[in-house]
Each structure stands twice: as structure tokens, then as C-alpha cells.
Amino acid sequence: DAGLATVLGHEVSHALANHGQQRMSAGILQQAVGSGVAVALGNKSQETQQIAMTAYGAVTQYGGMLPFSRSHESEADKIGLTLMAIAGYNPEQAIVFWQRMAANSAGQAPPEFMSTHPSDATRIANLQALIPDAKAEAAKFGVTFK
């Protein structure tokens, strides 16, 4: 139950925080600027244009879009942890869930900087730091944990 609460809290949090719309807006901005770069390079050689556009794509992907996505994931973890706690699920069980996920995907994940999600280790460390706040929020609603 607590594992399901972890996932549902996280996914509901994406909707509550409007992450889908933000991601679409960021993608549109990335494309618009890319079009501007292409126009600005229109009088350059094909090779120069190709190198510049490849560099633009890499810089915006690894320096902008992926970190942006990881920040959304971390925000959804934070909100989701609080939601699960308010619903009566011990937020410490989110750690157990992510440890189980890490064990099931050991060695299969790309390096964190190349991923849309924080690494399992980062996610677990972040959640551990957030547990006291989630419990405090739940306590405001009379929820306590053993």
C-alpha cells in the first residue's frame, strides 16, 4: 500500500504542480530559439550550421531540459511525500520503495546528468531529508506515525 501511495502521490503532484504545461512551454522555447539560431546561421557553410545546431541541441538538452525535468521530478517527490503522509501513509516507506526500485534496476540507469530523473541515490537522499517536513505537515491534520 505504501509503495502505491508513493507512486500515486508523486504522479498526482506532477498534475498539481502543472509540470506537463511547463515542460511543453520549455520545449516550445527550445525550438523557437533553435529556429532563431538556424536563421542566424543561414549564411554560414552547411558544416558550420550542422556543428552549431548539434552544439545548441546538446547544450540545451544537457544544460537546460534535463536539469529542468529532474527538478520537476524532485518537486513531485517532495509534494508526493507530503500527500502520502497526509493520507496516513508513513513517508519513511517511500525510502523503502525507492530502495526496492534501485535494487531492481541496479546498473541499468544512465548517468544522472543524462537522465530526466534523479538517480536512485539522489532521490533517496532527498526524500530522507524531506521526511520530517512531510510528517510535520501531516501532524497539522492530526496524522501521526509510529
Specify the DSSP class assigned to residue 110: P
Q: Which of 11, 47, 73, 75 is catalytic?
A: 11
Mark whether 75 is an active-site residue. Answer: no
The H or E element that residue 141 is part of is: none
43 C-beta neighbours (distance < 10 Å), count: 8
Q: Which of 2, 23, 29 is nearest to 71 (CA)?
A: 23
- Dist CA 90 CA 77 (whole Å): 14
Asked whether the beta carbons of 10 and 80 are under 8 A apart, the reply is yes
Catalogue the active-site residues: 11
